[in-house]
Structure 1
Amino acid sequence: MKVLIVDDEQHVREGIRLLGEWEAQGIKEIYEATNGEEAIAMIEEYRPEIIFSDMKMPKKDGIQLLEWIKENQPTSKTIVVTGYDDYHYMRKAIHFGSSDYLLKPVDPDALNQTLENAVKEWKKEEAERRKETNSYQLLNEMKPVYRDRMLTRLFANDHLKENLYEELGFQPSGKYVAAVVKINEQVMIEFGRDLAYFTTLNVINEILKAEDIGIGFRYLAQRGQIVIIFWNQFEQLEKHLATIYKALKEAMDFACPIAIGHQVDEISQLMDSYRQATEVMLSHNLLDKKEIRVYSRVNEAEGALPTLMAHASSIELAVQAGEVSAFEGVIDEVTSEFSQNHFMSLRQLFHLEREYQVICNQWMKKYRLPFTPPDDIEREADLFLDRNGQFCLEEYVNRKKREISLFLKSIKRHTQLEKGNIIYEIEQYLQANFDRDVKLQEIADQFYLSREYISRKFKQEFNENISDYIVKYRIRKAKSLLKNDQLKIYEIASMVGYQDDKYFRKVFKKVEGITPNEYRLGLK
């Protein structure tokens, strides 16, 4: 521990230093200051636990110092030492939290008793501060990152230490049920990811805590999922989940469907209950208008998964036709089953979307077109769910028609470009050999085309003949090289294909209207 003695009289400071039983109180460092200003500087540097202070001092007096200590170093214990037995000073000392009040000349017994009391009080308060700090840090770690990490580990059959269950708010029991809450991607976009998780968990755990029936946490192994572990009141789960569903809908104005797994007897079996809940979630009907989307069993009406691969030949004919109308028959055939039965599950939708992406990739590769599949099919599908959790099939189909239309337009452009590609290859050849004299016959031999055809097509594409194109390209390169002051004009001329630097200067001025030197000066 450290002590600071503040007094403008040296003999008072020396007296306190000599009379105090410092070692007995665990005090190893003693500092001195002659006024309030010096004291503040020393407090900021050394952070003493105990401060003795006079009241009447130059620059900053004891009252001003005590006021500063209360604001900036409130954990220190202060002891006022003064020669003025004045109620005004005593009242101020008490107001600013001083531990005690000593009169000069200081009595040794009174000094050491006051010192002992101050040290004891400081140690007691420090222990409480550390306890509160540790609890606060643990709480912050647990909410939400620590708790989510630990409960995700628990799901992976990783047994936790006994004391952690209580800290996490998890109650070991004889039976458990897992439920899955799905957070819509649109909620993530509208609220932001962190706020979406925070809001969802707050709503869920407030309801669960009131009944002491379970705990919700963010399942880190799966994006957009909150998992609830129940350990009590199993017969009323659907009722409690309906309450949670309605509370989430009210809080975020978005439906968050919930699926329930089967009951298990051990913590190690929680993953089985979770998998069952996931199956229930994947099989529920996205097209129904259910008011409360809480599901407790696999939907038997799900039926077989759709397949686009069965329509491969029809799709190929439609691509060859090059019109989106040719696709309409295929699209109608695929979607008619969903429309007629008024049933589409998440599993069916994901499977349909995956096949669609595979087919897109195949055709894009065939035509050498760029293709970037979505990072997460589930996130893409979420964008077609309305605020009540119902899938907008018509909007989804129209989106696919627009994508197909853009694809067909890209194919047409690609076909046209492919015919003109040879001229662009010639352009690249000219750029790669701009620093030498490339003859038209050399180009004709290189690309197996007649000189007349090359000249005509080049002029059509670039609105200038090959010789003018090369001159402009050389001058553009020269302008870039002129930025380097270390290069001479004749060196630059040679680098861009002119052996005669005078001719280079003449050509440069004709193209740019100024000489190379004038251009270089203009850069400065």
Structure 2
Amino acid sequence: MSEEWRVLIADDEPWIREGIRDAVSWERYRMEVAAEAENGEEAFELALKHSIDLLIVDLNMPIVNGLTLMKKLRQALPLCRFVIVTGYDQFSYAQEAIRLQVDDYLLKPVEPGQLDQVLRNISSSLAAEKKKQRDQLHIQKNLSLLKEHVFQHWVRGQIREEEVCAQLESLRLPPRIPDMLGVVSTGNVSIEPDHVKQQAERFFKEEPEAAVVFGDGHLVGVCLWRVMTEKEQRAFEEMMKGGLHAGVSSCFINLAEMEQTVPEAYQFCREKAARSFNGSPVVARAKEYMQKHFAERDFSLMQTADALQVSAVYLSRMMKRELGMTFVQLLTEMRMQKAVHLLKTTSLPIHDIAEQTGYDTQHYFSTIFKKTIGVTPNQYRRMSGIEQTGRKL
């Protein structure tokens, strides 16, 4: 699909704006005039609203002049192109704008032929820049996939160490054994592995040349070409728990201090992370009990604690520590999973679904559903393509 560049014309004289707008066939250059403005303040707001690609601006405008407007937009929309419209008496003033990387300037009255040439050049330049961005994204995507492939095979012992080291430089990584290796586990197979991987990547997003995050089933591996402090490791776990709303276990080891190969160290981390998710029997029993009773209207932490013969305070603390969420958060998650299933697979009225997921009223259920899922139950049902038949919602 071809790009269409959005243009804003900013001039306090209506006849100038009209003349520029009608002077050329914008479609020829894959452009459209998205908005017009008669002062700099209005132009700035419209530029942000439409995320413009090109500003054609008069320097002499009320409230905010053209030069100030361009300075503000250079910060807010760094890729935006500028073309100045100016009179002969303002030419020296226009030269000051060259420092803002102005593409060109037009002398009033604007001649269609000159405007044509300017737009042709800018359109070609924008297209080339967009292609460059797409190519870079394509390269980055392929690079990420290649890293994933290489490191999955490495930690499983399916590729020799010297072969990996020979490839590291081409993967834009230091050509040596990583300083640290780690494994992250949520202990919850219902969480999508890609979601766990993406969350881990956010922590290391500023270190593309010093960190690799790769998936391995329901585990996520991390290789680092630097030493990760204990404080950083704790911060990493907390960020993962907060982002996933689940308990997280991670194990990082310093490869320089371990007399193990990378596959051996990875297996060690895997086992240690998995062992920490055997968890306490009380939390496992609590989850099992909740799965059986979460649809009951008056279901509570106290009821669960009494059934397990422990104190509510103790159970709450253990769940928070091991699962990374409170009893109420887990209860809501279970109810919402059931609600989503019913909305997607049945045409039951919303009030029936509310009852079957433990809520007293349809209104309260809908409020919690929207807060958790982001849309109302009816909106979710429409998005899922399930229409109710025979009864009004």
Q: Calculate the TM-score normalised by the size of structure 1.
A: 0.33
Q: Calculate the TM-score normalised by the size of structure 2.
A: 0.42
Between structures 1 and 2, the one with greater helix share = 1
Larger RCO (alpha carbons 8 Å, 6+ apart): 2
